Amino acid sequence: MHISFLEISTKLPKASPLLFLIGEDKKFPQALMALDKKAGGIMARAIADSKFAGKKKQFLSVPGIQGCGHISLIGIGKPADFKKLDALNLGGMLVDKINVLGVKTATLVLDLPKTGNINLIETATKIGFGAQLKSYRFNKYHTKQKAENKPTFESFTIAMKGAKNAIAAYKHFNSLAEGIYLARNLITEPANVLYPKAFANECKKLAKLGIKIKVLGEAEMKKLGMNSLLGVGQGSVRESQLVVMQWSGISSKIKGQKIEPLAFVGKGVCFDTGGISIKPASGMGMMKRDMAGAAAVTGLLYSLAKRKAKINVVGVIGLVENMPDGDAIRPGDILHSMSGQTIEVLNTDAEGRLVLADALWYAQTNFKPRLVIDLATLTGAIVTALGTSRAGLFSNDDKLANQIFEAGKKSGEEVWRLPLAEVYDKQINSEIADVQNLGSDSEAGSIVAAQFLQRFIKPGTPWAHLDIAGMAWSKKELDTCPKGATAYGIQLLDKLISEYYERK
């Protein structure tokens, strides 16, 4: 969808439909008041004759207004309670409503009441961003589609005062939306199309944005001792890959002081059968999305480079397929990780942590980052614990954890922190190796998985783990996302970077 901003003058734009925001006080914006007066009070009568009360997500459409065709009113609730995330979600809602009208273009006249909570530029850009996110579609493999199922809404204009400032501010959001689109595409692709090498090839395309790309194949990883990651992929005919993406938005040294990058590490299991510990057939097709963490890291790097973010960032993603052929690892096997630690494999379906163990160690060893954050669809237990409204957050650093929590609230991609403690860590002590990949009890599965990852974090490195298993894919329509891949984590981490780490 194309998002544009138009400087509003004394005259309303000649467009149809025109959209206006109305609060529960039902006070008309000045522009709508003038229009309604010319039209003989038709909008006021339409409200009086309907159930429209200006509440959030209410929508009233009135066709046939003389001079401008179609007018639609959108409820925002109490204006004093209207927040940035309300604007974001409202933008997404508008896409659905306008598609029902069957038109290609629409114009929102943003003439808002003056309250302490409403900033015109922020509201305009958030509405546009929400609309752009919700308009995402993945129709690549539809050869026949009924006309009534095709979205018509293609171009959204926001008419307002200060449009020039909104245009400048929206560049950030447009870059973010493009990165989210990229990640959603990657997650949605079937595994016969997006296998490890194909994913790596998609990453190589980011070089055109100034991102330095390095791809390690199995021979190179073998030399580095990355046998934990390689063990997961050894049952597949598809070669495993490690992709390293570097964005350098500032000098590596400022005033003689070395600037260490932020490191983001993603689990990229392009298809997960469970291996020898095979999953049930029901729902296995959705295991193509087990690379959502790697997709989020890729989309984040794209967004940062596209907007030329003043930050140095490295993204490391481990790409494998977990398949159960005659070469696959077995329960009871011992793997030698890059860190030197040995791992007893108790369950081959606890494979994501094996991939991350080597990817995390590689990122720390080669880049000595100031912090490390990993994203992974790691455990079903996190969905049981938190459902599909928050990701699980684990961290060895309170400052970093608090920053991520606040960034989650501001971006709408929320997290909830769970504990790390010795009582959980001792569950992964193996009798014949340094660590085992499954807890000795069947309890606290998400925490035990995070404890496993912490074994591969070097002392003194601030680290956070985001278990996004419940957030990477939505089975229902969301305010700013159709059913399917969400690209969860990109907005969260972009907010974290821009709020706390990016040079202004």
Residue 354 near residue 345, CB atoms below 8 Å? yes
Segment 131-186, tens digit of pLDDT: 999 999 999 999 888 877 788 899 999 999 999 999 999 999 999 999 999 999 99
pLDDT 10s digits, 206-233: 999 999 999 999 999 999 999 999 999 9
If you search the block for the tokens 């390689």, which residue do you land on?
230
In the structure, what pLDDT confidence band is assigned to residue 399 with cuts at 50, 70 and 90?
Answer: very high
Residue 303: Cβ-neighbour burial (10 angstroms; 0-12, 13-18, 19+)? buried
Q: Are strands 342-344 and 59-65 parallel, antiparallel or unpaired?
A: unpaired
Domains of the chain, earliest start first: 2-163 (3.40.220.10), 174-500 (3.40.630.10)
What local confidence, expressed as pLDDT, does residue 217 receive?
98
pLDDT for residue 146: 80
Enclosing H/E stretch for 419: none
pLDDT at 66: 64
* Separation in Å, CA 124 to CA 107, 304, 396: 12, 22, 38
Q: In one letter, which amino acid is 139?
A: N
Instruction: Summarize the confidence of residues 114-137 as an average pLDDT.
Output: 89
Half-sphere exposure of 310 (CA within 13 A, CB side): 8
Residue 42: which pLDDT band, with cuts at 50, 70 and 90? Answer: confident
Task: State the Cα–Cα distance between residues 171 and 152, nearest whole angstrom.
Answer: 24
Structure tokens at 375: 């994203």
Residue 39: pLDDT over 90? no
Left if phi > 0, otherwise alpha if psi is -120 to 50, otherwise beta: which for 258? beta
- Tell whether the model's pLDDT for residue 338 goes beyond 60: yes
Q: What gap in Å lies between CA 54 and CA 69, rounded to an integer? A: 22
CA distance 499 to 501: 6
Cα–Cα dist 229/235, whole Å:
12
Distance, CA of 17 to CA of 15 (rounded, Å) = 6
Asked if 370 and 426 count as a contact pair (C-beta separation under 8 A), the reply is: no
Give residue-wise pLDDT tens across range 418-454: 999 999 999 999 999 999 999 998 899 999 999 999 9
So what's the pLDDT on residue 211?
Answer: 98
Region of 389 please: left (phi>0), alpha (psi -120 to 50) or beta: alpha
Please tell me the distance from the alpha carbon of residue 130 to that of residue 76, in angstroms, as a whole number: 15
CB 176 within 8 A of CB 494: yes
CA-CA-CA-CA dihedral for 230, 231, 237, 240, to nearest 10: -20
Q: Residues with catalytic annotation?
A: 279, 353
Residue 105 has pLDDT above 60, yes or no: yes
- In angstroms, the Cα distances linking 180 to 43, 130, 289, 492 are 38, 12, 15, 11
β-pairing verdict for 415-417 and 435-436? unpaired
Per DSSP, what are the bridge partners of residue 59? 74
Give per-residue pLDDT as tens, 176-212: 999 999 999 999 999 999 999 999 999 999 999 999 9
- Average pLDDT of the chain is 94
Q: Is 75 helix (H, G, I), strand (E, B) or coil?
A: strand
Element (H or E) spanning 146, and its range? none
**Does residue 115 surpass a pLDDT of 80?**
no
- The Cα angle at residue 415 between residues 409 and 417, in degrees rounded to 5: 125
Q: How sure is the predictor about 10, in pLDDT bands with cuts at 50, 70 and 90?
A: low
Please give the Cα distance from 71 to 34 (Å, whole number).
Answer: 13
Cα three-residue angle 402-478-24, rounded to 5 degrees: 90
Contact of 466 with 376, CB cutoff 8 Å: yes
Instruction: Give the integer Cα–Cα distance in Å for 52 and 62.
Output: 12
Specify the pLDDT at position 194.
98
Half-sphere exposure for 332 (CA within 13 Å, toward CB):
1
390's tokens: 């928050």
β pairing state of 262-272 and 257-258 = unpaired
409 has a pLDDT exceeding 80 = yes
Full-model pTM? 0.96
